[in-house]
Structure 1
Amino acid sequence: MIVFRYLSRELLITLSAVSAVLLVIIMSGRFIKYLAQAAQGILDPDVLMYIMLYRMPGFLQLILPLGLFLGILLAYGRLYLESEMTVLSATGMSPQRLLLYSFGPATLVALLVAWLSLGLAPQGVTASWRIFNTQDSLTEFDTLVPGRFQSMRGGSSRVTYAQELSDDRSELGGIFISEKRFSGDKSKEKGITVLVAESGRQEIQPDGSRYLILENGYRYDGNPGEADYRAIQYDTYGVLMPKPEIRQEVTAIEAVPTAQLFNSNNPKYVAELQWRFSLPLLVFVVTLLAVPLAKVNPRQGRYLKLLPAILLYMSYLALLIAMRGSLEKSRIPAWLGLWWVHGLFLSIGLALLYWETMQLKWASWRAAKREVARG
């Protein structure tokens, strides 16, 4: 029991460190993407942290199996390098018992991954989609930030700037709007229109149309680089704001509750269900793969087998993703599905685990055969 606690502690500490680093790397890339959308006025900056929080279960369900795999390689590799595994082997620690001890923390990780993949991840996708739907329903007023040039939702053809913005977002001051003008088929640019105004306000018509009413300003029409600009001074000028496009429902298959996936003949539902159950199963298979791969010679270093091991893991995950796509397109039967991939790598893990035993038996058989030949 003391050895089990020691190995589990070493494994869980390394797993936590590796998973934390991977989570920070992945979430940083996604956060930068959302931050760029917030800077363009597509997303409200106040919802960024909520989106990241809701997407975290989807990240963790893929990070934890990889973190466990790397954690076993690094933790056990250090024990082999420092000859601690040699001492444990001398006291009766076989590779099979080491694997059995490793299944203890692996079971905890598998239960956590099952909870994430079957429950939290679909709920997180649903919640994030609701936020995106709410953001799609926002107008330019709702995402406008004072003192910043922003490309509006209609595309990069219009840029808006407001020096001041009231707390209720109904009044603006120091307004600048630049918009490109195109021909009827929008294939050729006709020029640019610039609007400046001292102040402005939002006005909603009975039919739901929204207008930005500009006061005391100028409109300039022309082509950049040419001197034939037309300038118009106005007291009041109305700018129609585009209506937001609202998605009425969540269409992502990842957001469908797990209970709804059962007893469905839809190939996409079947593939999604098998994928969600494959992630906890992945934890046990990669544990079986990692334990024999973690054994290294102290003279060779702990990182000798790290690159081949990562390539093996990537092959495993890539094959699962490829078969998921084939299952969605009904190219393979549902009863075969993703299970044969797990069976294949389970066989590879067993072969790695018993490789030395098989080599010893083969050497003994050849030696016995030579003795018989001599006799």
Structure 2
Amino acid sequence: MKLPPIVIRTFKLQNSILARYLMRNVSVLLSVVFIVISLVVFGNQLVLIIKETSKEGIPIADLLPLVGLNMIRDVVLILSLSLLLAIILSVSKLYKASEAIVMNSLGLGDKHFMVFIQPLVIVIVIFIFILTTVVVPWSKQQRGLIMERSENTPEFSFIKKNEFQEFKNNDIVFYASKVSDADNAKEQNMEEIFIYTLVNNEPVITLAKQAQKYTNFNTNSVYLRLKNGTRYHGFPSNKNKKILNFKLYDLQIIDGKMQKSISTVTKVESKSTFELLFSNKLTEIAEFQWRISQPLSILILSVLGVLLGKTSPRSGKNLGVLVGVVMFIVYNNVLLIAKSTLERGESSPIVGLWWVHLVMLLLIFIFYKWN
């Protein structure tokens, strides 16, 4: 029996209104959940990065860029989890308010809910795809450059006055009573210097009235030029102690040959997706599949979210959310395990990470039939 045109138009209008209603709920919850998770994750990261900058001697000027780059890196997982939770909560809300029951009576079920939210899901998938294939590799490259620049920056750029500080893995103990606040660390001047080092397992103490850091541009080595001081080889109680007075003494603090080139960032994670596409190396194939897997997992998780949101008014309120979080963690961890397995050559690139998605789809299909 063919339905009258007015009935068909009414049904389509209802679907359109319901689709917008469901997408609006998902969008609002997505924003709220994303903000909450981001505040927790990024707040914790900010504390960790501040500790790292003070420990590793990273300049304060690089603090905000590092925080921003870490945020870009983590947005993918946070947004994926937020979308899953938003879908679960939105669909669950429909069932709790018995709205879904009315929709079911109109012939609208889980499959329709999955279709209703697809415009929003597709937008997020495209956004995640751009992030994982372009923005995140760029952010990792920039982060690598900042960290490498910090490692190659002379440690004595971060001298604090009136504090004993350790450098070169505790091989040098340094103290200066006065330190200039010059904008250029290469021209930094210091006064009343104390340096403790080990030379051939023998303690060497150096005292100097003044010191200035400079770079030998021929060798790219960095020196501390000490003026008007004394070097003590061995402790005063040692019979073989030596005392050397000097007017000028150059102490090498950074070996130019040992410094890494800032321009050579070769980590797989920072390579462009186009490079990885035509690579035959297992590590690069694994990285490429990982980048594609993240937007693909959004599509799969959106279907799972609808099924987990289906509940009865008398069931547990947070059961779907709890199961969703567990499934999300397991899904991503298994993807990471599959990536590591591929990198070690223990699985075929054809199988790669794709089997994880297939297994997830199979589980969702079983869950759908069981529901």
SS of corresponding position for 1:346: helix
2:85 aligned partner: 70
User: Counterpart of 1:210 in structure 2: which amino acid?
Assistant: V
State the distance in 1 between where 2:56 and 2:331 align: 40
1:156 aligned partner: 170
2:287 counterpart of 1:281: no
State the distance in 2 between where 1:207 and 1:306 align: 60
**Residues 219 and 296 of structure 1: CA distance in aligned 2, closer, same or farther (over 3 Å):** farther
**Residues 252 and 208 of structure 1: CA distance in aligned 2, closer, same or farther (over 3 Å):** closer
Deviations 1:264-294 (A, max 9, x none): 2222222111111111110010111111111
User: Counterpart of 2:225 in structure 1: which amino acid?
Assistant: I
- Contact 2:193/2:210 (8 A) holds in 1: no
2:212 aligned partner: 201
Q: Which runs of 5+ in 2 are unaligned?
A: 1-15
Q: 2:40 aligns with which of 16, 25, 33?
A: 25
Deviations 1:267-324 (A, max 9, x none): 2222111111111110010111111111223223321233233222222112211111
2:26 counterpart of 1:14: no
2:131 counterpart of 1:120: no
Q: Which runs of 5+ in 1 are unaligned?
A: 185-189, 357-375
- Contact 1:41/1:150 (8 A) holds in 2: no
Deviations 1:178-224 (A, max 9, x none): 4342645xxxxx55x5545443212444544432223355656667x
State the distance in 2 between where 1:67 and 1:23 align: 10
Q: 1:243 aligns with which of 247, 255, 261?
A: 255
- Contact 2:193/2:211 (8 A) holds in 1: no
CA shift for structure 1 position 258: 0.7
State the distance in 2 between where 1:268 and 1:139 align: 33
- Contact 2:293/2:353 (8 A) holds in 1: yes
State the distance in 2 between where 1:274 and 1:252 align: 16
SS of corresponding position for 1:127: helix
- Contact 1:172/1:200 (8 A) holds in 2: yes
CA shift for structure 1 position 231: 8.1
**Residues 110 and 177 of structure 1: CA distance in aligned 2, closer, same or farther (over 3 Å):** farther
Q: 1:213 aligns with which of 222, 225, 237?
A: 225
What is the TM-score normalised by the length of structure 2? 0.82
Q: 2:120 aligns with which of 102, 105, 112?
A: 105
**Percent identity at matched positions?**
24
Q: 1:258 aligns with which of 273, 292, 313?
A: 273
2:325 counterpart of 1:310: yes
- Contact 2:33/2:82 (8 A) holds in 1: yes
SS of corresponding position for 1:343: helix
RMSD (Å), alpha carbons: 2.9
Q: 1:80 aligns with which of 70, 81, 95?
A: 95
SS of corresponding position for 1:264: coil
What is the TM-score normalised by the length of structure 1? 0.81
User: Counterpart of 2:166 in structure 1: which amino acid?
Assistant: S
**Residues 176 and 320 of structure 1: CA distance in aligned 2, closer, same or farther (over 3 Å):** same
State the distance in 1 between where 2:39 and 2:172 align: 35
Give the total of aligned pairs.
347
State the distance in 2 between where 1:50 and 1:133 align: 14
CA shift for structure 1 position 147: 5.7
1:364 aligned partner: none
